[in-house]
């Protein structure tokens, strides 16, 4: 067994993992369906009360005319960008260099839709108004991800967001929201989802991040936009005869958790402050603006792993099961994301874990300097 | 309420619908998960024991090196044809004019993959060896659907299938099997799935037709083929974080029903013979070769509907909830597909329903001739 597997194993044995809602097990489905009437009819190829009711509910929550349930955000977002490009007659879309479409989708946007991404901003910072003002004039659509996951879940100021939206409207550039974690930023912005979505022409939200469902996404916008998206959904092979396993779970966990985002946000700030007390550890952002943030350690991955394993074993606290290197440095990081679990973690265990973390990292750094 | 809705309503009130396994309700999911350990981990983006075990099981059943679970056949088949075209460096694929890709997928193959279908044979008959021999020489891949659903589920003779396969191998034309209903034809061919699949380079099978699962498909072939298909699955937005709701149900119902295909086949022949006893009714094929067939009525749809409704109400037997016109005629038809329900239908009720059907159609035809 290598070091990496040892970390996963040690994490899986902890009593108090700090991230998420719980294990992704069959129980997630069983709980969601427990009280659902077994005689309820399946949705059939996008029709039927079960899917139509949920779509209407989400359209209302997001303040859009219409909404369509998709098996994945990958499918929903490629389709949104394709529709906007077709309407504008341009092939270019603009987004952040660490956009999901650029780094996690095997170039589906290019390979299937033949669209050309224009990468805005340096990958280590947010897209700003100035980047948009200086953008290629043949961009049909700008995608903004709120929060920008790959840089710790950072957010632009709301006034900057409004200015970007106003500029795009003025210039006829379509604005699409990658809202994979939209629900999670509502407490920081102190806005409703509908208020934020009003700045965008189309919106995608996910149901298995902060909401903790099984899978699935909603794409929302005007009626003509969502109608067109259903044709592309069929073309992509996403218009399944039955999507209810995902829809029913999305609906169940949405109702259970959408009002808990404020709690997760406060807990994220608390947890980040624990990390930031240690000299060789810092969080990005320093003060989280949602339930997520990145934790940076000034120590190489292979030095940190045995430290984490020792802490997991002596305290039962689990920070993470995976560490990633930070390019061009000897540091490493992981993504923390607060869910239901954090509230159940005893504070004295947590303090003990952070005490050990601080001591062990200092010790390791001393050894390094000898 | 229009006539069409009346037929649906009347059908939904029948005690003995003749087609299928049962209603597509939440119960289908609940039953499949009832005895599954709630602590079992979800598959994660195509990895994990749950998905890997099922893929291995299906690869073995189909006699292929490797298999990949897809959310839909639409996605799986477009991807199969794309891979074969990329390998051959041609853009053309050949299939039947009533192929699923041609009539049910909003032209995804053309719009997303820019492939050009070559339609073989007249739409009312099967593809024969001669059609293949005379095919455009730039066809990368030939798709055969067994059974050919849109013409009543007809099948070529096995020797002809072997000859087509041999010719394709000789010419370097890749052969893909649309096996949406492959399990259903094994009793007629008296072959194993692996024996039939050995004639093809790639194979798709479905889990919500004869198997009666929730949704989902398997694409099988050589290891390098399925590895490439996973990249395209990600591009299409089909590489979901969790596919287990479909996989677990597919596995459950596969084990429950794959050995019942012989029974469904015998029952289909029996039911077809009942229809064929009526002069103005005939089935296509006359003797079914699987669990499915088409029922043709020499009466316009609007004349047949009230007759069917009256029979449903007086006998509790439900033939169909939908009737389709036959282009260029005054006849209409529906697709019958035998599943678990048929075995529970009392024979005397069935005979009474057919007696009434015969009488009422004769009566209607007499009125017509006056």
pLDDT tens-digit profile of B158-185?
A: 999 999 999 999 999 999 999 999 999 9
Of B40, B75, B235, the CB nearest to A106: B235
Å between B268 CA and nearest CA of chain A = 24
CATH 3.90.1150.10 range(s) for chain A read 3-21+260-369
* Interface-testing mutation among B40, B83, B112, with chain A (most A C-beta atoms within 10 A): B112
Q: How far is CA A3 from CA A9, A184, A303, A306, A308, in A?
A: 10, 33, 10, 8, 11
Of B106, B215, B231, the CB nearest to A240: B215
Close Cβ partners of B266 (under 8 Å, ≥ 6 residues apart): none
Q: Is ipTM > 0.95 here?
A: yes
* Interface-testing mutation among B11, B26, B101, B247, with chain A (most A C-beta atoms within 10 A): B26
Å between A279 CA and nearest CA of chain B = 35
**A36 contact residues in B (CB cutoff 8 A):** 26
What is the distance between the alpha carbons of residues B326 and B340, in angstroms, rounded to a whole number? 29
What is the distance between the alpha carbons of residues A352 and A350, in angstroms, rounded to a whole number? 5
pLDDT tens for each residue of A139-152: 999 999 999 999 99
* Interface-testing mutation among B8, B86, B237, with chain A (most A C-beta atoms within 10 A): B237
- In chain A, positions 10-69, which contact chain B (CB-CB < 8 Å)? 23-30, 33, 36-42, 44
What is the pLDDT, as a whole number, of residue A370? 64
Asked if CATH classification 3.90.1150.10 holds for the domain at A3-21+260-369, the reply, yes or no, is yes
Å between B72 CA and nearest CA of chain A = 6
- Interchain contact, A26 vs B42, CB within 8 Å: yes
A-B interface: how many C-beta pairs under 8 angstroms? 160
Of B39, B76, B245, the CB nearest to A214: B245
- Interchain contact, B24 vs A38, CB within 8 Å: no
* Interface-testing mutation among A21, A227, A234, A242, with chain B (most B C-beta atoms within 10 A): A242
What is the pLDDT, as a whole number, of residue B4? 82
| Chain B contact present for A239, CB below 8 A | yes
* Interface-testing mutation among A237, A240, A249, with chain B (most B C-beta atoms within 10 A): A237
The answer, yes or no, to whether residue B298 has pLDDT greater than 90, is yes
**What is the DSSP secondary structure assignment for residue B192, as one 8-state letter?**
-
Stretch A224-230: mean pLDDT: 98
Å between B339 CA and nearest CA of chain A = 18
Of A73, A113, A237, the CB nearest to B72: A237
What is the pLDDT, as a whole number, of residue A154? 98
Confidence band of B219 (pLDDT split at 50, 70, 90): very high
If DSSP states are collapsed to H, E and C, what string results for chain A?
CCHHHHHHHHHHCCCEECCECCCCEHHHHHHHHCCCCCCCECCECCECHHHHHHHHHHHHHHCCCEEEEECCHHHHHHHHHHHHHHHHCCCEEEECCCCHHHHCCCCHHHHHHCCEEEECCCCCCCCCHHHHHCCCCCEEEEEEECCEHHHCCECCCHHHHHHHHHHHHHHCCEEEEEECCHHHHHHHHCCCHHHHHCCCCEEEEECCCCCCCCCCEEEEECHHHHHHHHHHHHHHCCCCCCCHHHHHHHHHHHHHHHHHHHHHHHHHHHHHHHHHCCCCEEEECCCCCCCEEEEEECCCHHHHHHHHHHHHHHHCEECCCCCEECCCCCCEEEEEEECHHHHHCCHHHHHHHHHHHHHHHHHHHHHHHC
pLDDT tens for each residue of B80-94: 999 999 999 999 999
The answer, yes or no, to whether residue B368 has pLDDT greater than 80, is no
What is the pLDDT, as a whole number, of residue B133? 98
- In chain A, positions 262-291, which contact chain B (CB-CB < 8 Å)? none
What is the pLDDT, as a whole number, of residue B366? 84
The answer, yes or no, to whether residue A365 has pLDDT greater than 90, is no
| Chain B contact present for A322, CB below 8 A | no
Close Cβ partners of A284 (under 8 Å, ≥ 6 residues apart): A151, A152, A154, A293, A294, A296, A333
pLDDT tens for each residue of A82-121: 999 999 999 999 999 999 999 999 999 999 999 999 999 9
* Cα angle B71, A214, A155; round to 5: 110
What is the pLDDT, as a whole number, of residue B367? 80
Of A39, A238, A241, the CB nearest to B25: A39
Å between A77 CA and nearest CA of chain B = 9
What is the pLDDT, as a whole number, of residue A52? 98
Q: What percent of chain A is modeled with pLDDT above 70?
A: 99
The answer, yes or no, to whether residue A357 has pLDDT greater than 80, is yes
- Interchain contact, B214 vs A25, CB within 8 Å: no
Stretch B199-218: mean pLDDT: 98
Stretch A9-29: mean pLDDT: 97
CATH 3.40.640.10 range(s) for chain A read 43-241
Stretch A208-221: mean pLDDT: 98
Confidence band of B1 (pLDDT split at 50, 70, 90): low
Å between B179 CA and nearest CA of chain A = 17
What is the pLDDT, as a whole number, of residue A345? 98
Q: What percent of chain B is modeled with pLDDT above 90?
A: 96
Neighbours of B362 (CB within 10 A): 13
Å between B74 CA and nearest CA of chain A = 5
The CATH T-level fold of domain B3-24+260-365 is: 3.90.1150
- In chain B, positions 109-148, which contact chain A (CB-CB < 8 Å)? 111-113
Q: What percent of chain B is modeled with pLDDT above 70?
A: 99
* Interface-testing mutation among B25, B36, B39, B242, with chain A (most A C-beta atoms within 10 A): B242
Of B76, B107, B208, the CB nearest to A241: B208
Of A44, A208, A238, the CB nearest to B24: A44
Q: From 1.10.3720.10, 3.40.50.720, 3.40.50.2300, 3.40.640.10, which CATH number describes the A43-241 domain?
A: 3.40.640.10
Stretch A285-301: mean pLDDT: 97
Exposed, middle or buried, A5 (CB in 10 Å: 0-12/13-18/19+)?
exposed
| Chain B contact present for A245, CB below 8 A | yes
| Chain A contact present for B166, CB below 8 A | no
Å between B27 CA and nearest CA of chain A = 5
Any idea which of A31-40, A322-331, B23-32, B82-91 has the lowest mean pLDDT?
A322-331
- Interchain contact, B24 vs A33, CB within 8 Å: no
- Chain A residue with minimal CA distance to B239? A72
| Chain B contact present for A75, CB below 8 A | yes
Confidence band of A199 (pLDDT split at 50, 70, 90): very high
- In chain A, positions 192-211, which contact chain B (CB-CB < 8 Å)? 208
The answer, yes or no, to whether residue A4 has pLDDT greater than 90, is no
């Amino acid at each position: 067994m290598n070091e990496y597997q040892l970390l996963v194993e040690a994490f899986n044995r902890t009593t108090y993992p700090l991230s998420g809602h719980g294990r992704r097990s069959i129980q997630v489905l069983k709980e969601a369906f427990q009280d659902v009437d077994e005689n309820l009819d399946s949705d059939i190829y996008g029709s039927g009360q079960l899917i139509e009711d949920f779509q209407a509910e989400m359209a209302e929550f997001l303040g859009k005319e219409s909404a369509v349930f998709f098996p994945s955000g990958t499918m929903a977002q490629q389709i949104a960008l394709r529709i906007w490009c077709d309407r504008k007659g341009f092939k270019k879309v603009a987004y952040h260099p660490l956009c999901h479409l650029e780094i996690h989708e095997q170039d589906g946007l290019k390979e299937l839709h033949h669209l050309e991404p224009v990468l805005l901003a340096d990958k280590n910072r947010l897209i700003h108004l100035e980047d948009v003002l200086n953008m290629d004039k043949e961009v049909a659509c700008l995608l903004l991800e709120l929060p920008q996951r790959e840089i710790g879940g950072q957010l632009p100021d709301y006034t900057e967001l409004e200015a970007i939206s106003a500029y795009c409207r003025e210039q006829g550039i379509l604005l699409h929201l990658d809202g994979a974690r939209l629900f999670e930023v509502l407490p920081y912005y102190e806005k409703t989802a509908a208020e934020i979505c009003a700045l965008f022409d189309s919106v995608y939200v996910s149901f298995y991040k902060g909401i903790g469902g099984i899978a699935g996404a909603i794409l929302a916008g005007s009626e003509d936009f969502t109608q067109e998206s259903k044709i592309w959904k069929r073309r992509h092979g996403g218009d399944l005869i039955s999507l209810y396993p995902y829809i029913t779970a999305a609906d169940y966990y949405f109702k259970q958790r959408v009002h808990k985002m404020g709690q997760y946000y406060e807990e994220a700030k608390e947890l980040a402050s624990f990390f930031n007390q240690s000299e060789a550890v810092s969080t990005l952002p320093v003060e989280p603006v949602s339930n997520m943030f990145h934790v940076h350690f000034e120590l190489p991955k292979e030095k940190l792993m045995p430290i984490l394993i020792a802490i997991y074993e002596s305290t039962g606290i689990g920070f993470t099961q995976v560490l990633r290197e930070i390019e061009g440095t000897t540091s490493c990081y992981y993504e923390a994301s607060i869910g239901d679990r954090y509230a159940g973690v005893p504070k004295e265990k947590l303090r003990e874990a952070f005490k050990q973390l601080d001591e062990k990292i200092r010790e390791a750094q001393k050894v390094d300097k000898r």
